[in-house]
Structure 1
Amino acid sequence: MSLDFPTLLVVATVVTGALWAVDAAWWGPARRARAEEAAAAGSDAGTVERLRRQPTVVEYARSFFPVILAVLVLRSFVVEPFRIPSGSMMPTLVTGDFILVNKYTYGLRLPVLHTEILDLGDPERGDVMVFRYPEDPSVDYIKRVVGVPGDTIEYRDRRLYINGEAVDRDYQGRYDGEGAGSSMTGSRIYRERYGEGLDHEILLEEMGNNREVRTRVPEGHYFVMGDNRDNSRDSRYWGFVPEDHVVGRAFLIWMNWDSVEGTVRLDRIGGGVQ
């Protein structure tokens, strides 16, 4: 078990909760009994109060336990913040975006163990999904789901095919990047359409990567790709995302810090993730 942030949260919750519980059940009553005995024996008020007082470690545990527990529950079952470290999902997400991920759309999972305890739905084609990287589960990745179980996925001549049919796409113009996204300026923007209401933009460079693949998505797995098709290490390289590696669905950009410009990009705050 790696000591990542979720693990530390669980450990902190257990430790502070256990200290509080043990004090409430055993240590506290014993302290109060000693204080009452001292008072009956005629001890001064200062001595009685000192015997009744909680140890500092218990006071901290009692104060922090509710806060840590609330953070653990919210982060594990409701929403979790992530930061986008690369440009593999441009133009949808750019380097420096801080996003919120819905943790219950695909079901509730125990923190650290990742065991599903309540099935609420499955990833759908077109979702922007956060998952644990299959080659190193301690690392979180974010890509778009393009293939669900049973789909036949093909990528050739820099075009995506699902179940033998080319995904519709329309040319939108040239990408004009800013700050951390300026390296992709001049790339071609296309809008891909998977079906009614399922569309998003992708980037293709003039002479980009033509990593070709043809495969069938097995049960319990997903095929994912980055929207920046020529600059994304995704299922074309390392295979499928197992269902038990799914973390959640990205839905909101709550902040952006552009490290190149050294400023907050206000135009990206509050944007939805489509």
Structure 2
Amino acid sequence: MTLAQWFIFFLIVQVVHFIGTWKIYEAANRKRWEAAVPVYNAIVLMKIINRPTWWTILLFIPIVNLIMFPVVWVETLRSFGKNTTLDTILGIATFGLYVMYVNYTQPLNHIPNRSLESNSKGADTISSLLFAIVVATIVHTYVMQPFQIPTSSLEKTLLVGDFLFVSKFHYGARVPMTTVAAPMVHDTIPVINTKSYLNKPQLPYLRFPGFEKVEKNDIVVFNWPVDTVYKFFDRSTRKADKPIDKKSNYVKRCVGTPGDKFQIKDGVIFVNDQKLILPERARPQFSYTVTTNGTPLNPDYVIRDLKVTDAVYQTAPNTYLFSSLPDDEAARLKSNPIITGVTKNISHEAEPSVFPQNNNGWNKDNFGPIVIPQAGKTVPLTAENLPLYKRIITVYEGNDLKVSGSEIKINGQIANSYTFKQNYYWMMGDNRHNSEDSRYWGFVPEDHIVGKPVFIWMSLDSHGSGLSKIRWERLFTTVGGDGQPYSYFKFFLIGLAAYFGITFFMNKKKQA
């Protein structure tokens, strides 16, 4: 839905609200017209039902309002003596239309100072639970979201089994575009494995101001632009047409920002003709072929000394393939007396699967140059460069594109150039030969950006068992920053012990 369509829908809702509640307003000694004024009518209604004015804000927060509307319907009924279980069920089951029925058919005796105390322990538990869900949904949507690392594309920096907190406010919290969805889950409701949302209606893209912009070398969580899978690891023929904010969450390193000239030469990234200098914590990896003098490689040496946990294959006598190995570890391999050769496997053959899939000779190690699209910038359109921008023009920016020979038409008009409506980014994994990233599906639109990982609160090693399954050195470490990661877990434990100690002391003192 466009902004104009949403405005019309909002006006229709206001008309329905006025028709269904004006007698209720009058019965509460308010003016009839107060039921017709948008936003103000909600403020007045909060006074009628004896609830705080700030509840009005919750009615306009997507997802949260799905919880608040039923609450307000029930509270309105109770403010006029409709307290039975049947009244509550009818109020919710009819999507508030039961309030309209009461408005016209029942005696309206307003209870201005009714008690807000729950009549039963069960009702009190439900109220507390609803409040907790509302608060958690606001935090999850606009402040901080938990996230688990599912793949090894950022291995050595972020590990499979890391559990992160992703900040929504660093780049600016994105208002949910999917308006009807279960709170605090992504695309699937756990346990019952059912889709958690409705595709329509959709809000236009809107993002609150952030504290910073996406910069080169930032690790970023974003919605996978080409996602059509029902489940993250399920690439079967079963497809799903997902809204932007319900596409699978990916995490990669931003290596190109809007307006940058981007190129990869023999596995090395160049931005604006300068080699991209990665932060100290980043450890890019490549596949290597290693040969020995006939002595087999000791698996304990590979795992314990080289810290290599990814696959190592013996491809021929005395020959091994390391699927992902950092350059410094490759250098250490060379110093082993049984090693006779260490070769980085740099591709020079064309890979048709590489973006933009038009057989231009590019591959994962030699790519470009390209210029990353920037909002407001105009590029000439030709048959040669159209594959780079085709998905942007049609899918991300919603235009109709038709090509006939050398003639390009956008929205029915002949086009020799195109002006981008939003910014785009280039995202890649540090595990360069084991990462499905922008090299294969192209640019990441700004409206797909979710947030910035800031904190690892838990890290589990699938190869461990018991307490050794926990990577203790990674607990409570920051994702970014200078130098090597440092765990603040001991300070957390000290703070937790202090909190419980002080609480115990205060309770004892109060009892005395």
TM-score (norm 1): 0.73
Q: Over residues 227-264 of structure 1, what are the superposed CA-to-partner deviations in whole Å (9 max), with x where a residue is unaligned? A: 11121111111101000000001111111111122311
Pairwise CA distance, 1:19? 2.9
Pairwise CA distance, 1:110? 1.3
Change (3 A) 1:28 1:168: closer
Change (3 A) 1:55 1:271: closer
Q: Given the alignment, which residue of 52, 71, 74 partners 1:20?
A: 71
The higher relative CO (CA closer than 8 Å, separation ≥ 6) is in 1
Pairwise CA distance, 1:25? 1.4
Letter of the 1:246 counterpart: I
Distance (whole Å) between structure 1 residues aligned to residue 125 and residue 479 of structure 2: 39
How do 1:101-116 and structure 2 match up within 5 A? 101-113=166-178, 115-116=205-206
Change (3 A) 1:181 1:269: farther
How do 1:242-253 and structure 2 match up within 5 A? 242-253=445-456
CA contact (8 A) 1:19 1:61 kept: no
Q: Which residue of 2 aligns with 1:216?
A: 371
More strand by share: 1
Q: Over residues 41-60 of structure 1, what are the superposed CA-to-partner deviations in whole Å (9 max), with x where a residue is unaligned? A: xxxxxxxxxxx95796x656
Pairwise CA distance, 1:29? 2.9
Distance (whole Å) between structure 2 residues aligned to residue 148 and residue 67 of structure 1: 39
Distance (whole Å) between structure 2 residues aligned to residue 268 and residue 135 of structure 1: 32
CA contact (8 A) 2:153 2:429 kept: yes
Q: Given the alignment, which residue of 127, 136, 144 partners 1:71?
A: 136
* 1:271 is the counterpart of 2:477: yes
Change (3 A) 1:272 1:72: same
CA contact (8 A) 1:107 1:116 kept: no
How do 1:58-207 and structure 2 match up within 5 A? 61-113=126-178, 115-120=205-210, 121-136=212-227, 137=244, 138-168=247-277, 182-183=309-310, 187-189=325-327, 206-207=344-345
Letter of the 1:142 counterpart: V
Distance (whole Å) between structure 1 residues aligned to residue 66 and residue 126 of structure 2: 8
Change (3 A) 1:173 1:83: closer
Pairwise CA distance, 1:20? 2.3
Distance (whole Å) between structure 1 residues aligned to residue 166 and residue 445 of structure 2: 18
Q: Which residue of 1 aligns with 2:441?
A: 238
CA contact (8 A) 1:129 1:248 kept: yes
Gaps of 5+ in 2: 1-60, 85-117, 179-203, 228-243, 287-301, 313-321, 329-342, 348-362, 375-422, 481-512
CA contact (8 A) 2:253 2:428 kept: yes
Give the stretch that moved more between structures: 232-241 or 260-269: 260-269
- Cα root mean square deviation, aligned: 3.4
Q: Once the two structures are aligned, what percentage of the paired residues are identical?
A: 29
Change (3 A) 1:223 1:154: same
SS in structure 1 of the partner of residue 71 of structure 2: helix
Pairwise CA distance, 1:112? 4.2
SS in structure 2 of the partner of residue 259 of structure 1: coil
SS in structure 2 of the partner of residue 25 of structure 1: helix
TM-score (norm 2): 0.41
Q: Over residues 140-188 of structure 1, what are the superposed CA-to-partner deviations in whole Å (9 max), with x where a residue is unaligned? A: 000011111000110120111001122247998999767x961168722
CA contact (8 A) 1:95 1:181 kept: no
Distance (whole Å) between structure 1 residues aligned to residue 326 and residue 373 of structure 2: 32
Distance (whole Å) between structure 2 residues aligned to residue 117 and residue 206 of structure 1: 43
Gaps of 5+ in 1: 1-8, 34-51, 191-204
CA contact (8 A) 1:89 1:227 kept: yes
SS in structure 1 of the partner of residue 165 of structure 2: strand
Distance (whole Å) between structure 2 residues aligned to residue 261 and residue 110 of structure 1: 39
CA contact (8 A) 2:165 2:454 kept: yes
CA contact (8 A) 2:285 2:430 kept: no
Pairwise CA distance, 1:273? 1.1
Pairwise CA distance, 1:208? 5.5
CA contact (8 A) 2:283 2:430 kept: no
Change (3 A) 1:226 1:177: farther
Distance (whole Å) between structure 2 residues aligned to residue 256 and residue 76 of structure 1: 23
CA contact (8 A) 2:157 2:283 kept: no
CA contact (8 A) 2:161 2:461 kept: yes
Distance (whole Å) between structure 1 residues aligned to residue 283 and residue 451 of structure 2: 29
Q: Which has the larger radius of gyration?
A: 2
Change (3 A) 1:213 1:163: same
Letter of the 2:429 counterpart: G
Letter of the 1:183 counterpart: D
Equivalenced residue count is: 231
